[in-house]
Amino acid sequence: MLIHRKLPADPATANATVTVGDKVRLVAAALGDISSPGFEVFGDRTVLQTFLSVLDRPDSAFNIVTP
């Protein structure tokens, strides 16, 4: 489960803080692209890579709506 809260990061507990420029960058990050402009990682970048490694890849053949 991922919970988004618009609160300042607590440096005492945050291993990494991510700033995403827009929704397109967020989707790109979920697909593994964390080097695009508009996507910034402050702190331990390996923490983000570990988090992304546990996300499932989307199934492009998944039918959201079926007749």
Give the confidence band of 1 by pLDDT, cuts at 50, 70, 90: low
Could you read off the pLDDT of 10-41 as tens digits, one per residue?
778 888 888 888 888 888 887 778 888 888 98
Phi/psi for 30 (5° steps) reads -65, -25
Written as one letter, the residue type at 37 is: P
Provide, rounded to the nearest whole percent, the portion of the chain with pLDDT above 70. 94
Kindly list the distances between the CA atom of residue 13 and the CA atoms of 10, 16, 42, 49, 50, in Å, as whole numbers in the listed order: 6, 9, 13, 18, 17
Token pair of 54 as six digits: 């546990």
Q: Where do the domains of the chain lie?
A: 16-53
Put simply, whether the predicted model's pTM sits higher than 0.85 gets the answer no
pLDDT average, residue stretch 34-53:
86
3-state secondary structure 47-66: HHHHHHHCCCCCCCCCCCCC
